[in-house]
Structure 1
Amino acid sequence: MEWLEASTENCPVQRTLDVIGEKWTLSILRDAANGVRRFEDFRRHMGLSEAVLSDRLRKLTAAGILRTAPYRDPGSRSRNEYRLTRKGWDLWPVLIALRQWGETYEADPAGPVLDVRHSDCGAPVRIAVECTGGHEELTPKDVTARPGPGARPLR
């Protein structure tokens, strides 16, 4: 079976986009990875409407990407903070890859908005594709992609 003969209904890229592909979702994840926890902080930082933010946070929580943790400021009612789960943190390389692409092709002339560096040596962080055999810096011409065991014929 060739790629164009395979259905994309169970494609992991499509299934991932079904969960995180809505507008603002990756920005919420970016902020969560950078320490934003509270609804009002997300809303203020991104300029989102309460309705859109509530919808995205609810969906991310239902998907197990965020979890809620109660907090209470003195004199206020109890509220929830939003924290990345392990599943959410596993999206961090995706955020770094998007940042890297954006810095290459859509960079602000003033420089990066966020400077991400390795804590130990201070070098900039970047994403590289490697195989499980330890070969780093693979490019598309270095790999072969073909339908896998989960591929279904296109209907």
Structure 2
Amino acid sequence: MSTRTAGRPNCSIARALDLLRDRWTFLILREAHLGTTRFADFRDVLGIAPNILTNRLTAMVEAGLLERREYRAEGERTRCDYHLTPAGDDLKIVLAALQQWGDVHVPRDQGPTVVRHAKSGELVDVSFTTESGTRVPAAEVSFDPVPGSTADRSDWR
């Protein structure tokens, strides 16, 4: 039985990775979540080559993670800046999970990153939670395969 539909992986993780691609995409997303919108600011903060940044931003716009908006500073030519779409904004939880994992398994000398609820100031973390709001340890979580087909494990290699 085929595990692909119209040339796309059956596995949602594999499909997501097709869009997210590499470390630059995640770092651009991180900066976008921190409020960066302009090409020069992404370039300067990340130290990324302009051609690579152009390619990643174009791919992220095509994937629906960012949208271009034109702006024009007085006396200058029209330029585009980049804003998160709802799909890009939804990746905040993925970034937070990666950050949380990194703080535990590849910690920095200065200690973990602090993530807080914007309104209350309470510390937050990423966790599995049931529909009723009960927190579930990762060891008690299982992934069910897509009904009617096998997982696309070959895409993970």
TM-score range, shorter chain: 0.7 to 0.9
Structure 1 residue 145: Cα displacement: 3.1
Q: TM-score, normalised by structure 1?
A: 0.85
Q: How many residues are treated as equivalent by the alignment?
A: 149
Q: What 5-or-longer segments of structure 1 have no aligned partner?
A: none
153 and 28 in structure 1: CA distance in 2 versus 1, 3 angstrom threshold: closer
Percent identical pairs in the alignment equals: 36
Contact 1:66 1:84 in 2 (8 A): yes
Question: What is the RMSD computed on CA atoms of the aligned residues?
Answer: 2.3
The corresponding residue for 2:53 is 53
Give the deviation of 1:125 after TM superposition.
Answer: 2.2
1:97 and 1:146 map into 2 onto residues whose CA distance is 20
Q: 1:89 is matched with which residue?
A: 89
* Pair 1:97–1:48, CA change in 2 (3 A): same
TM-score (norm 2): 0.84
Secondary structure at the counterpart of residue 107 of structure 1: coil
Q: Which has the higher strand share?
A: 2
Cα distance in structure 2, aligned partners of 1:48 and 1:63: 20
1:92-139 deviation per Cα after TM superposition (whole angstroms, max 9, x unaligned): 100010111111122211234x53211232222210111224321332
Which structure exhibits the higher relative contact order, with contacts defined as CA atoms closer than 8 Å and separated by 6 or more residues? 1
| Counterpart residue number, 1:40 | 40
Structure 1 match to 2:107: 107
What is the distance in 1 between the residues matched to 2:49 and 2:107? 27
Query: C-alpha separation between the residues in 2 aligned to 1:102 and 1:153?
Result: 27
Q: Give 3-state SS (helix, strand or coil) of 2:80's partner.
A: strand
